[in-house]
Chains A and B, each alone.
Chain A
Amino acid sequence: MKVSKVVSQECTGAQIVLKFLADQGVKFMFGYPGGAVLPLYDEIELQSKVKHILVRHEQAAIHAADALSRSNGEVGVAIVTSGPGLTNAVTGIATAYMDSIPMVIISGQVPSHAIGQDAFQEVDAVGVTRPCVKHNFLVTNVEKLSETLSQAFYIASTGRPGPVVVDIPKDIQQTKTVYKFHKKVNLRSYQPVVEGHIGQIKKAAELITKAKKPVIYSGGGVILGDASRALTKMVKMLDFPCTNTLMGLGGFPANEKLFLGMLGMHGTYEANMAMQNCDLLIAVGARFDDRVIGNPDHFYSSSRRIIHIDIDPSSISKRVKVDIPIVGDIKNVLKNLIKEIESLDKQLQDISEWKKQISKWESKNCLKYKESKEIIKPQFVVETVNKLFQKHDFFITSDVGQHQMWAAQFIDFNKPRRWINSGGLGTMGVGLPYALGVQLAHPNSLVGCITGEASIQMCIQELSTAKQYNLPVKIYTLNNRYLGMVRQWQEFFHGNRYAESYMDALPDFVKLVESYGHIGLRIDKPEDVEPAIEESIKRKNDLVFIDFITDQTENVYPMVPGGKGLSEMILV
């Protein structure tokens, strides 16, 4: 390991952590103090380079740091205390892990001599988090502290990114040693692949020139790998239709003609039909998960060639066998693939018949819904948010459920990192802390959170954090008094028995929001929707919460039922 900077005076472990974070360029850390991190909090107080954001629950600290990373690509940093601090953080860590978000979580641990004694607030942090982190460390020697932190940042941010936990016992935080900042990290057991295999790239280029019914299917890997520009260039060069996964929205601009919309369980008819009927599928940074291709056997029932570009070899041929796997950094691979196609002295096939077919599918207008003058349709709220937000530099976060799917369907994301949601784990409660993390990283942007009355209550305490740091996010709650997506499944698959999916005793959200010092509005008439959203945007310095009382019976369409194939959609 190269030592690039030496500060010769002795520092405590806690001082080392803070010096390291400053040297690493970390601007924000989200956390909550407690016994086992008191030495660290002492040092937080004594410095000014890293701003600490005090949340109201550790889960929100992780979500906010996670969202900061999703929105700007930096490593998100959070700090929690031992025991319950760490276990509260687990949901956030698992959420980040499922979506491959680079994060470093620092947790306090009971003093080394007390480990294993069932000490107060002791939990085996490394053991508890092992299945939901990319890697984790228990620091047993202060001499290794700064090196471990460097490794943590390196592992979190390279290859397929992910969260890394660094558990630091209290006595290590108090022990002194000389601080060194290790800029370069070399781990013999961890060497992520960057360059794609040129032979495979050549084969892919050949196959592309033969395709008559091609589709490009891109996912979260394009966003994480900052490969959006390269992807867009390739799609336009080939003039192939392109669909994005839930995590990939914004990877290819929604306002482009070649965009088919999102695919998958609640994807568009045209995207799913194109996936099922294509003769060449180019998967870019996507992993063929169950919500995307449905039943793999049904997917196999029509044959197609598949090129799969991904940084993680274990994503390849996990659920679907592919013909040409290319493992490597997506941006790098796409650039080389573009070069290769350009250098081939071959014409692409005429795909006008295929495009005609796609236009036919598009003409189904699968996202249509019955408009109403009496009752607010949830889709209408989201459409209106889209209409008004497009005039601004905006970000949208969401929680999990029907509102999330409508946001994904109706909001046009023309840039990457603008759509912030929990795709893999599907964690209710992320929306508000996500919005706070994004707003901190982008103080001049418009940040909206589309949520439901159930999801928002899972982290509603963070309204207090928003007040403390003056974060003027806009919260749009689609309030149907139901756990909407659960209700939809009960209607479709469980004989209309709405077991425990109705909320009987909701709070008065307006009063609740006001008690936190924010502005709350309740809207129950369709004609008030647009003016209310307009008003919330105008209030640049205020957090505005709008409780939209929406149609209780609305469902998300199209829908591919679980276990079914992509072309077996339920349409409205």
Chain B
Amino acid sequence: MSDIKTRHIIALLLENESGALSRVSGLFSARSYNIESLTVAPTDDSTLSRMTIVTYGTEDIVEQITKQLNKLVDVVRVQELTKVDFVEREMALIKLKVSNSTKESLFKYVEIFRGKILDVGKEIIIIELTGTAKKINSFLELFSDDNVIELVRSGALGIGRLSKNLKI
């Protein structure tokens, strides 16, 4: 079995019921599967929630993860997005320390990365940035840890392209 661990994104539809989330998160901890991010919210069908999970693992482990997820009674559909053509987006809200001398360059970076400035104070600025996890990481690399006052990331959202639908 291959030992190379790679990043995988799994999307699932599950019953919008209390406890469904803990069944999924409990499965990951009980079987010691890695979980990098997990996002969940109701869908256009209010009886269903959609979850996007980012995990690291070998092909074999990820195959087990999808099988085990499929076994959960509350899980309706599972799709490994990284196996199909898909798009991925994540949102980050970043609170940065600024001064008059750094403001100018910061605005430029925000423009280059197609971010939005949500709030500006004398010494603090809040930026909204959307993109792949990679893009957000690249943006953050521009700043020293001292300058990042607070950071919140949504975790990845993913959707299959063209006809790769996850619907019931």
A residues at B contact (CB < 8 Å): 126-127, 130-131, 134-135, 138, 155, 187-190, 312-314, 316-318, 321
Q: Is the CB of A312 within 8 A of B71?
A: yes
Q: Say yes or no for B124: interface residue by CB 8 A criterion.
A: no
Q: How far is the CB of B157 from chain A (nearest CB, A)?
A: 22
Q: Is the CB of A317 within 8 A of B73?
A: no
Cα distance, A104 to B75, chains bound together (Å):
21
Neighbouring B residues of A138 by C-beta, 8 Å: 19
Q: Is the CB of B1 within 8 A of A314?
A: no
Q: How far is the CB of A49 from chain B (nearest CB, A)?
A: 29
Q: Is the CB of B71 within 8 A of A188?
A: no
Q: Say yes or no for B30: interface residue by CB 8 A criterion.
A: yes
Cα distance, A138 to B22, chains bound together (Å):
14
Partner of B76, one of A127, A189, A313: A189
In the complex, residue of chain A having the shortest beta-carbon distance to the beta carbon of B19:
A126
Q: Which 3 A-B pairs have the closest CB atoms?
A: A314-B67, A189-B76, A135-B73
Q: Is the CB of A313 within 8 A of B1?
A: no
Q: Is the CB of B19 within 8 A of A318?
A: no
Neighbouring B residues of A134 by C-beta, 8 Å: 73
Partner of B60, one of A127, A187, A190, A317: A317
Neighbouring A residues of B142 by C-beta, 8 Å: none
Write out, one digit per residue, whether chain B residues 138-167 have a CB within 8 A of any chain A CB (1) or not (0). Answer: 000000000000000000000000000000
Cα distance, A481 to B71, chains bound together (Å):
44
Q: How far is the CB of A237 from chain B (nearest CB, A)?
A: 32
Q: Is the CB of A130 within 8 A of B168?
A: no
Q: List 27 A-B contacts (CB under 8 A).
A: A127-B22, A130-B19, A130-B22, A131-B26, A131-B30, A134-B73, A155-B73, A187-B73, A188-B76, A188-B168, A189-B14, A189-B15, A189-B73, A189-B75, A189-B76, A190-B73, A313-B70, A313-B71, A314-B64, A314-B67, A314-B70, A314-B71, A316-B67, A317-B60, A317-B64, A318-B64, A321-B1
Neighbouring B residues of A126 by C-beta, 8 Å: 19
Neighbouring B residues of A190 by C-beta, 8 Å: 73
Q: Is the CB of A130 within 8 A of B75?
A: no
Q: How far is the CB of B137 from chain A (nearest CB, A)?
A: 33
Q: How many residues of B contact A (CB 8 A)?
A: 20
Neighbouring A residues of B30 by C-beta, 8 Å: 131
Neighbouring B residues of A189 by C-beta, 8 Å: 14-15, 73-76
Neighbouring A residues of B64 by C-beta, 8 Å: 314, 317-318
Q: How far is the CB of A178 from chain B (nearest CB, A)?
A: 24
In the complex, residue of chain B having the shortest beta-carbon distance to the beta carbon of A151:
B73
Tell me which residues from 66 to 107 in chain B have a Cβ below 8 Å from any Cβ of chain A.
67-68, 70-71, 73-76
In the complex, residue of chain B having the shortest beta-carbon distance to the beta carbon of A126:
B19
Q: Say yes or no for B63: interface residue by CB 8 A criterion.
A: yes
Q: How far is the CB of A263 from chain B (nearest CB, A)?
A: 23
In the complex, residue of chain B having the shortest beta-carbon distance to the beta carbon of A135:
B73
Q: Say yes or no for B5: interface residue by CB 8 A criterion.
A: no
Q: Say yes or no for B23: interface residue by CB 8 A criterion.
A: yes
Q: How far is the CB of A514 from chain B (nearest CB, A)?
A: 45
Q: How far is the CB of B147 from chain A (nearest CB, A)?
A: 42
Cα distance, A52 to B51, chains bound together (Å):
43
Q: How far is the CB of B166 from chain A (nearest CB, A)?
A: 14
Query: Given A188-B76, A189-B15, A314-B70, 19 more contacts at CB 8 Å?
Result: A126-B19, A127-B22, A130-B19, A130-B23, A138-B19, A155-B73, A188-B168, A189-B74, A189-B76, A313-B70, A313-B71, A314-B64, A314-B67, A314-B71, A317-B63, A317-B64, A318-B64, A321-B1, A321-B60
In the complex, residue of chain A having the shortest beta-carbon distance to the beta carbon of B68:
A314
Neighbouring A residues of B168 by C-beta, 8 Å: 188
Neighbouring A residues of B67 by C-beta, 8 Å: 313-314, 316
Q: How far is the CB of B109 from chain A (nearest CB, A)?
A: 45
Given A188-B168, A189-B75, are A130 and B60 also a contact pair (CB < 8 Å)? Answer: no
In the complex, residue of chain B having the shortest beta-carbon distance to the beta carbon of A137:
B19
Q: How far is the CB of A156 from chain B (nearest CB, A)?
A: 11
Neighbouring B residues of A187 by C-beta, 8 Å: 73
Neighbouring A residues of B71 by C-beta, 8 Å: 312-314
Cα distance, A127 to B22, chains bound together (Å):
9
Q: How far is the CB of A185 from chain B (nearest CB, A)?
A: 12
Write out, one digit per residue, whether chain B residues 108-141 have a CB within 8 A of any chain A CB (1) or not (0). Answer: 0000000000000000000000000000000000
Q: How far is the CB of A546 from chain B (nearest CB, A)?
A: 41
Neighbouring A residues of B63 by C-beta, 8 Å: 317
Neighbouring A residues of B75 by C-beta, 8 Å: 189
Neighbouring A residues of B74 by C-beta, 8 Å: 189
In the complex, residue of chain B having the shortest beta-carbon distance to the beta carbon of A131:
B30
Q: How far is the CB of A287 from chain B (nearest CB, A)?
A: 13
Cα distance, A135 to B74, chains bound together (Å):
9
In the complex, residue of chain A having the shortest beta-carbon distance to the beta carbon of B60:
A317
Neighbouring A residues of B70 by C-beta, 8 Å: 313-314
Cα distance, A135 to B60, chains bound together (Å):
25
